[in-house]
Amino acid sequence: MFARKYYTDNPQQLAYISEFENTYDPSEVITWYTRNTFLYRMVNKALRTQDHLVVYAFRLFIRNLHMKLNLLQAENKSINSKLVLYRGQSLTKDDFEKLKSNIGGLLSVNTFLSTSEKKDIALLFTGGTIEDSDTEGILFEIDISTNEVSSASYANVDQFSAFQGTEREYLFSMGTVFRIKSIDKISGSAVWNIRLSLTNHTDAQLENLNLYMRQELQQCKTILSKFTNLMQQMNFPEKALHFYMKNSDIEKNPTIEDITLKYLIGDLCLHANNYEGALNCYQNVLEDMNENMQEKPMFICNLYNRIGNTYLELGNLDLAHEFHQRAFDLALSLPETNQGQIAANYIYQGDIVMEQNKMDEALIFYQKALALLIVHLPSTHSSIAHTYSRIAHVYRKQEKIEEALEMFEKSLSVLVDSSAANHPSISATHRHISTLLWILTRDEEALHHGLQALQIDANTLHLDDPQMKRRQDWVDFLRRDIHDHKCRLEENSHDWDQLSQFDM
């Protein structure tokens, strides 16, 4: 089992793993989750840290647990209109300050969340009453109106819990959203009381984006294909490749699914700057295409565009233009023109002319693409963000700094709503905004965005990564520059040439 390598030197947990392998039944999923075993630790840690390999390994258990909570919630309607639950835990001071600054806002929980009707039980988990320099003791108090419709999955699991009768335990499923009502110090204690209310909050933009992505994923036939496609969209190429390789070997007479997998491996190579490898995969797909594939013209459009992108990266602008034009012509010839595909081709043509330093032409292509994307995609789709970014780069090349800044800020706004918090695109956009603000002598704002980028990179890059040094050097430079500028208030401009040393 996947968990064995994590507990090689722990005989007790290895015994639990063997017991789980031999006796697990989905009807006992809550009992297994609430026991003090490897399951609780590994599942919640994986969900909290987005460890997708572990999430995938435990996907059936996670699904069983979620479905069991849904079932119990439907079966056991409370006779009381109000329910108050408690959860005790400690938080780092940084995390606590984020909550304090968000009173009235929303708190989303990406793990399963255990709570109790018993306040005294919950207080035992707050870390006591001793002041600590690094953490704060927290008692969450959750108010629930049981007669109101909620999108949250939660249920009283006491009869199934490994601690039956001792905690009056309620378990919330992943993705529960609460509203922060108030935060106050408990009198005579070092513990903070944070009052939450369960909300049926749904964000229309987020729902539209989720629907769009679900429709994209539904095109994949197997669970592995769905999972790997999702990893790719979330910008985890190495993990995506791991799951692709779990698929069955591609046979001599490949199916559409096999051909699609080879195409997606080409995407991974392209993402990793392995352009020759990407081109080889895409050309193999062209050779493998049979009559069934000819019935999927949008797949062929995408393939032509990928080949065009690869040739662009290899510096062969003529072949890049040829394949993008093939895709464009094919898209226009279809009975029902896919406006998203047309927009993509405008972007690709813009990329080509931008590479030729034809900025005015590039801007026209990008603006045409943006107009289509805004109409035909959810407003928080990442393609809109990346198009704003392309327009910003054109303005930057044209030295239209205010216009470039506006476009990068729009890009950042969309990315924050559509991407994981540590997504590299968010970091890159913060860096671009930081440099533009510095050029405009808005140094304090430049430092803020520089620090935001550095914090994201620190969570995704190794400390010895050369990029980390460049990011830290940029932040240090901004701090020195702010200090120096205060010493010479008459100066109101910066030397752009200084940017080259930071690879910005």
CATH code of the domain occupying 386-504: 1.25.40.10
- CA dist 322 to 49, 325, 375, 392, 481, Å? 43, 5, 28, 26, 48
Residues of the chain with CATH 3.90.176.10: 79-202
**Best-predicted range by mean pLDDT (65-69, 208-212, 243-247, 250-254):** 65-69
For residues 362 and 493, which has the higher predicted lDDT (pLDDT)?
362
Domain 79-202 has CATH 3.20.20.150: no
User: What pLDDT is recorded for position 375?
Assistant: 92
For residues 339 and 398, which has the higher predicted lDDT (pLDDT)?
398
User: What pLDDT is recorded for position 209?
Assistant: 43
> pLDDT-based confidence at 206, cuts 50/70/90?
very low
Cβ contacts of residue 222 below 8 Å, gap of 6+? 247, 257
Q: Tell me: the pLDDT tens digits for 48-61?
A: 776 666 776 787 88
β-sheet with 135-145: strand ranges across: 106-109, 176-185, 191-198, 135-145, 82-92, 113-116, 169-172, 154-156
Share of the chain above pLDDT 70, in %: 78
> pLDDT-based confidence at 387, cuts 50/70/90?
very high
- CA dist 253 to 261, 289, 400, Å? 14, 10, 54
Residues of the chain with CATH 1.25.40.10: 386-504
For residues 462 and 392, which has the higher predicted lDDT (pLDDT)?
392
Closest CA to 453 of 481, 483, 473: 473
Residues in the chain: 504
Average pLDDT rounded to a whole number, residues 177-188: 90
Average pLDDT rounded to a whole number, residues 37-47: 85
Report which secondary-structure segment, H or E, holds 91. Answer: strand 82-92
> pLDDT-based confidence at 239, cuts 50/70/90?
low
DSSP SS3 for 420: coil
- Least confident stretch, 15-24, 43-52, 103-112: 43-52
**How far apart are alpha carbons 435 and 131 in whole angstroms?**
41
Average pLDDT rounded to a whole number, residues 282-293: 73
Q: Which of left, alpha, beta for 175 (phi over 0: left; psi -120 to 50: alpha)?
A: left
Query: Residue 184 in contact with residue 196, Cβ under 8 Å?
Result: no
198 pairs with which residues across the strands? 178
Residue pointed to by tokens 């005989």:
11
Q: What angle do CA 386, 378, 312 make, to 5 degrees?
A: 30
> pLDDT-based confidence at 128, cuts 50/70/90?
low
Average pLDDT rounded to a whole number, residues 257-285: 80
Is 26 a residue whose pLDDT tops 70? yes
141 pairs with which residues across the strands? 86, 195
